[in-house]
């Protein structure tokens, strides 16, 4: 008998990872990237108040963080005009998605998502033995009606919908999603990933009572708040579901310094407005760079812009490789036909200057490869 003995499920899982980090690519190429525009991070960074709060809190890091995340949970509840009992905080949305899938999905249970949507959600579903059913995008948007119909057809436990969407940057209004939810089948929880919603037009967030048992909304400090490395995400849901997380979560898992930083970030609305403006300007600039190269930038309600390279996935992959050769870290959608695109995170002027300088050569290289 070999040691250790894995569960049959664990033994069956592939050793793949949802994403390769840019640091891995940098080690492979032997040089750092000139512009880090691939992970939808927010290069404009956290509020200076949040940085100051974290710097001050480092001296306190000999203490475990509050396992109830009390202060942050209450501040978030006040912000969203819900009860603290409607808020669960975890190690990023990624961590919370893992806990949610663990609570609700066993071997063979059906789950629905869009083909090409967030791979980390799929990783968790596979990791707990769920059976994943995928619905295609429609006109580069997730398709709520088709998702909910597939959920009914498969008796799904969960249906995942990111709004705004990653990787396409597209979105629905909150009202459109609420209307579509009339077809959400009984017993199926809507996992509404609103990671990018602070970058989106007003009205994009769903406006429903927090106690509505049909959905859980996920938010994060990783995107508009500029704290991806801090690992603080949260869910807004009915109290029963929030309490259920306490059965399985790593109670002391949220970094104490990060809790202090998130609390300060949440209080600095001025910085959030500033960042929104920077993001909007960077989106425009990325759109202009695309047009200058004969490409089409898709509309975006996020902190990235998805650019249609106009040909197939092989061509877009070649463009991406050409950008990487020139020091630009970017990523692209995984699924056809969205993989005709590349995805560029909003950057500072210098980052986008570097992208603008690299793109023509990367495109030419990709064209030459396609003809060669």
| Three-state DSSP state, 81 | coil
Residue from 189, 200, 282, 324 touching a copy of itself (CB under 8 A): that is 189
Contact 71, 259 (CB under 8 A): yes
Burial class (CB in 10 A: 0-12, 13-18, 19+), 252: exposed
- Return the number of the residue (280 or 312) whose C-beta is nearest a copy of itself: 280
> Does residue 9 interact with a copy of itself by CB under 8 A?
yes
Residue from 34, 49, 51, 348 touching a copy of itself (CB under 8 A): that is 51
- Return the number of the residue (250 or 273) whose C-beta is nearest a copy of itself: 250
Residue from 72, 89, 135, 158 touching a copy of itself (CB under 8 A): that is 158
Contact 244, 96 (CB under 8 A): no
* Strand partners of residue 112: 133, 159
Residue from 159, 200, 258, 263 touching a copy of itself (CB under 8 A): that is 258
Q: What is the distance in angstroms between the CA of the first residue and the CA of the last residue of the chain?
A: 53
Binding to a copy of itself (CB under 8 A) within 268-287 occurs at none
- Return the number of the residue (28 or 310) whose C-beta is nearest a copy of itself: 28
Region near a copy of itself per CB under 8 A, out of 48-56, 77-85, 132-140, 293-301: 48-56
> Does residue 186 interact with a copy of itself by CB under 8 A?
yes
Contact 255, 64 (CB under 8 A): no
> Does residue 229 interact with a copy of itself by CB under 8 A?
yes
Residue from 33, 35, 44, 306 touching a copy of itself (CB under 8 A): that is 44
Distances in Å between the alpha carbon of 152 and those of 106, 118, 148, 155, 238?
18, 21, 6, 5, 22
Residue from 153, 203, 243, 277 touching a copy of itself (CB under 8 A): that is 243
In sign, the C-alpha dihedral spanning 205, 196, 133, 209 is negative
> Does residue 235 interact with a copy of itself by CB under 8 A?
no
User: How many angstroms separate the CA atoms of 303 and 282, rounded?
Assistant: 8
Retrieve residue 220's tokens: 């994060």
Residue from 109, 142, 198, 278 touching a copy of itself (CB under 8 A): that is 109
Residue from 201, 203, 213, 310 touching a copy of itself (CB under 8 A): that is 213
- Return the number of the residue (139 or 186) whose C-beta is nearest a copy of itself: 186
> Does residue 23 interact with a copy of itself by CB under 8 A?
yes
Residue from 117, 151, 205, 257 touching a copy of itself (CB under 8 A): that is 257
Residue 142: Cβ within 10 Å count? 27
The least distance separating a copy of itself from the CB of residue 182, rounded to whole angstroms, comes to 14
- Return the number of the residue (229 or 294) whose C-beta is nearest a copy of itself: 229
Residue from 73, 141, 150, 157 touching a copy of itself (CB under 8 A): that is 157
| Three-state DSSP state, 214 | coil
Distances in Å between the alpha carbon of 276 and those of 82, 104, 171, 239, 279?
24, 35, 17, 31, 5
User: How many angstroms separate the CA atoms of 73 and 89, rounded?
Assistant: 7
The least distance separating a copy of itself from the CB of residue 161, rounded to whole angstroms, comes to 15
> Does residue 349 interact with a copy of itself by CB under 8 A?
no
Residue from 28, 55, 153, 273 touching a copy of itself (CB under 8 A): that is 55
| Three-state DSSP state, 216 | strand
Contact 170, 301 (CB under 8 A): yes
Binding to a copy of itself (CB under 8 A) within 66-85 occurs at 66-68, 70
The dihedrals phi and psi of 307, each to the nearest 5 degrees, come to -110, 125
């Amino acid at each position: 008998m070999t040691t250790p003995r894995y569960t049959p499920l664990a033994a069956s899982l592939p050793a793949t990872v949802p994403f390769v980090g840019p640091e891995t690519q940098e080690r492979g190429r032997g040089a750092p990237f000139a512009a880090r525009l691939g992970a939808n991070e927010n290069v404009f960074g956290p509020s200076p108040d949040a940085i100051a709060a974290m710097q001050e809190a480092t001296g306190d890091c000999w203490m475990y963080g509050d396992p109830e995340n009390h202060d942050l949970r209450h501040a978030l509840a006040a912000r969203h005009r819900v009860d603290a009992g409607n808020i669960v905080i975890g190690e990023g949305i990624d961590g919370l998605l893992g806990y949610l899938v663990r609570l609700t999905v066993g071997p063979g249970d059906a789950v629905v998502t869009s083909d090409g949507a967030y791979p980390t959600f799929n990783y968790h579903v596979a990791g707990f033995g769920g059976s994943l059913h995928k619905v295609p995008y429609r006109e580069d948007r997730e398709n709520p009606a088709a998702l909910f119909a597939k959920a009914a057809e498969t008796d799904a436990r969960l249906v995942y919908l990111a709004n705004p969407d990653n990787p396409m940057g597209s979105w629905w209004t909150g009202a459109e999603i609420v209307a579509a939810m009339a077809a959400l089948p009984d017993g199926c929880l809507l996992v509404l990933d609103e990671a990018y919603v602070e970058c989106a037009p007003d009205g994009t967030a769903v406006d429903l009572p927090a106690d509505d048992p049909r959905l859980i909304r996920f938010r994060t400090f990783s995107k508009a708040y500029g704290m991806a490395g801090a690992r603080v995400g949260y869910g807004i849901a009915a109290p029963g579901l929030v309490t259920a997380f306490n059965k399985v979560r790593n109670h002391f898992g949220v970094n104490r310094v990060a809790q202090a930083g998130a609390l300060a970030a949440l209080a600095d609305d001025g910085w959030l407005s500033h960042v929104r403006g920077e993001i909007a300007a960077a989106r425009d600039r990325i759109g202009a760079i695309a047009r200058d190269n004969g490409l089409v930038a898709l509309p975006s309600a996020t902190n990235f812009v998805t650019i249609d390279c106009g040909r197939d996935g092989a061509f877009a992959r070649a463009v991406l490789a050409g950008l990487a050769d020139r020091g630009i870290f970017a990523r692209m959608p995984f699924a056809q036909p969205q993989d005709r695109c590349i995805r560029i995170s909003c950057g500072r002027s210098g980052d986008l200057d570097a992208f603008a300088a690299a793109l023509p050569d990367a495109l030419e290289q990709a064209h030459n490869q396609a003809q060669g």
